[in-house]
Amino acid sequence: MRTFFFQSQLTRLIFKASFSKLDASQWPFFAKPESPLRQAPENVLPLSLAVLCGIGFIFLFVGGIFGMAEFNQFWKLVLISTPFAFLVLDVASWWLTKFWPACAWFTMIGGFGYSLASTVMFATSLAQMWLPRWTRK
């Protein structure tokens, strides 16, 4: 029921925005600056620490498995370090978005970057484990 209420308020907001200018009194309560649902810095700190530690360990394990793959040494180092750099970019953009909303693009770039790098590492490792005769030189 609560989800339907949020969706109906958001639909009304979008409908009104397409036909008229909105002032702050017409915003839904979860979009107002004084709303408790907006993230305060003290709420972002535990989340960012949990994400850095949790996803960092996942990248550490995937990078450790990929480190044993038969791959060019330079590209191996680049691919193992890339997810960590994009993870730092991602979490830093959460904090920067509070002061400059355009930094939300860095969140998307960071997520795409570490997803792509870890997918390449994961797929290469699985291919060399499961398909050894086709991936050997």
- pLDDT score at 136: 63
Spatial distance between the Cα atoms of 20 and 133, rounded to a whole number of angstroms: 64
**Which phi and psi (to 5°) does residue 71 adopt?**
-150, 155
Per-residue pLDDT at 49? 85
- The reported pLDDT for the residue numbered 12 is 56
Backbone angles phi, psi at 95, to 5 degrees: -70, -40
CA gap 89, 106 in Å, rounded: 7
* In the chain, where the domains are located: 1-38, 40-135
Residue 132 confidence (pLDDT): 72
pLDDT in tens, the chain (137 residues): 455 444 555 555 554 544 445 555 555 444 445 544 455 666 777 788 888 899 999 999 999 999 998 888 999 999 999 999 999 999 898 888 777 777 788 888 999 999 999 999 999 999 988 887 666 66
- Cα torsion for 75, 67, 58, 106, to the nearest 10°? -10
Residue 127: both structure tokens together: 């291919």
Per-residue model confidence (pLDDT) at position 101: 76
Helix axes 41-67, 73-99, angle to 10 degrees: 170
Q: What is the pLDDT of residue 112?
A: 94
**Model pTM score:** 0.65
Report the pLDDT value the prediction gives residue 137, as an integer from 0 to 100: 60
Nearest-angstrom CA–CA distance, 97 and 99: 5
Give dist(CA 42, CA 56) in Å, integer. Answer: 21
- The Cα-based distances of 124 to 31, 51, 132 in angstroms read 43, 25, 11
| Distance from C-alpha of 60 to C-alpha of 17, rounded to nearest angstrom | 46
pLDDT of residue 89: 93
